[in-house]
Chains A and B, each alone.
Chain A
């Protein structure tokens, strides 16, 4: 994959995520972690190669079926991508609204989820008034509220303290136990080691095979 005419950011990546797996994606800044996630959550087209999601070649998928694929993927964006004109509650409920959910049906679930990520008392706050950690937790809540099949998280613990990072890891682990495939891009060595989950390491645009958490170079 390349951006415009720049050199290839990712080369010869061969990655298969088994259903229900949990991997960390590591690598130095600029190694291509975010680019790899963007390929998977269909924010960028690959300049060459093949992407198969849920057993289907994305390049041959009719446009009308792309939203359905995207709904099966939860994304925690590195830059959060929260909607500043919507409250914490409405931001978290966004994926449910997009699929036509009624507030009466999802109010309790969203409230419970927000309480779980520590935002129960800030449901009516607007994103610009949130701290970095609160924004991060809100982004996670939005990514998981629709119970996606795959959760992609780009540095989800980058702006939270160690205690919150542990809670987020527990949330991700819990989701994984329920069957969600999880891929987390992270710099947090401590978190990765404590998770005990396998690591995929990116270096110079190339991806390693699954490594043990301790084997991360």
Chain B
């Protein structure tokens, strides 16, 4: 057994030097709350962008995977015969999985939003429609369907939903751009809040800055103190904001059924990966903002400016 000599009384506590800038300040609570809220709103905006993107993709897939054919009966042909003939022809086209002639009752249901449940008069001419389900992997295009119908002598026009697809794509792009724009604005606001806090922090620590300067510290050394402090604070706030949105997201997912809030805003577990980098990004924004602000102020505080 060996006996170690007793450590000097100050040795243990002096193993790590205390931070030159106090880790905490009385104003930190309010700042952290503001940044956490901004980060939370940014996270919510990004999740909304992902969900709306997924919803738009779903609508697009549905539109891509189907087509509607309006059939015009020839002379001497009943509407039912014309629709049946068109459906039979279309079912044989490569890239079509199923073609169904809509009977009058089904077609009338499509008009219900405009005419009401009892609003379709018996003598109202209703277009003869055939709905076509396309192979999602290799869907037949409108031209192929048109050619097949022409060859079979069926007078019809094909609607491949292209017009609606463009509308859906435009709507999806608008939502994506808006939500990501909101997220970017929130990030900028967080940066501005940190810059403001850095100014206040430097003003409150003017004595410290002065002593460090006169003791020989470089401007960058002093700015780095504030950069580290506010970077860490922003990262913590970012984590809190992300956790808050995670809790909200879980609530929506669990309370809103399998698809989340509504079928129009499908939430997916994989979206949560978007929250992972938020503390890091918040920390980076905080550190950069604090560093730039501190550098400007520290240089101006340095009475003996010297030549640049």
Interface residues, chain A, CB within 8 Å of chain B? 41-45, 58, 60-68, 70-71, 75, 81, 83, 85-87, 89-90, 93-95, 97-99, 103, 107, 111, 123-124, 142, 146
Contacts and interface: CB of A to CB of B under 8 A. Distances in A.
Given A67-B216, A90-B17, A93-B17, A45 B304 contact: yes
Contact of A103 (B17, B20, B208, B308): B17
Contacts of A66: 302, 304, 306
B211 interface: yes
Contacts of B17: 90, 93, 97, 103
B188 to A, nearest CB: 31
Contacts of A142: 215
* Residue with the greatest number of chain A CB neighbours at <10 A, chosen from B17, B20, B210: B17
B144 interface: no
Nearest to A86: B18
Given A89-B10, A93-B17, A63 B207 contact: no
A151 to B, nearest CB: 13
B138 interface: no
Nearest to B16: A103
A41 B214 contact: yes
A65 B216 CA distance: 10
Nearest to B218: A67
B125 interface: no
Contact of A87 (B18, B20, B216, B221): B18
A63 B18 contact: no
Contacts, number: 91
16 contacts: A41-B214, A60-B307, A66-B304, A67-B217, A70-B214, A75-B214, A75-B215, A81-B207, A83-B207, A83-B211, A87-B18, A89-B14, A94-B20, A97-B20, A123-B10, A146-B216
Given A43-B303, A81-B210, A103 B215 contact: no
Contacts of B306: 58, 61-66
Interface string B177-220: 00000000000000000000000000000011011111111110
Given A44-B303, A63-B219, A94-B20, 20 more contacts: A41-B214, A45-B305, A60-B307, A61-B307, A62-B308, A65-B306, A66-B304, A71-B215, A71-B216, A75-B215, A81-B211, A85-B22, A90-B18, A94-B212, A94-B215, A98-B216, A99-B216, A123-B14, A124-B10, A124-B13
Contacts of B11: 107
A71 B215 CA distance: 6
Nearest to B23: A85
Contacts of A71: 215-216
Given A89-B14, A103-B16, A107-B14, A95 B308 contact: no
B8 interface: yes
Contacts of B106: none
B307 A62 contact: yes
B15 interface: yes
A58 B304 contact: yes
3 closest A-B pairs by CB: A71-B216, A63-B306, A70-B216
Nearest to B307: A62
A94 B207 CA distance: 14
A115 B118 CA distance: 101
A45 B221 contact: no
A146 B20 CA distance: 18
A83 B22 CA distance: 10
A7 to B, nearest CB: 20
A18 B84 CA distance: 113
A111 B8 contact: yes
B2 to A, nearest CB: 22
B208 A83 contact: yes
A98 B13 contact: no
B120 to A, nearest CB: 81
Interface in B16-41: 16-18, 20, 22
B221 A111 contact: no
A177 to B, nearest CB: 24
Contacts of A146: 216
Contacts of A44: 303-304
A37 B271 CA distance: 63
Contacts of A103: 14-17
Contacts of A43: 210, 214, 303-304
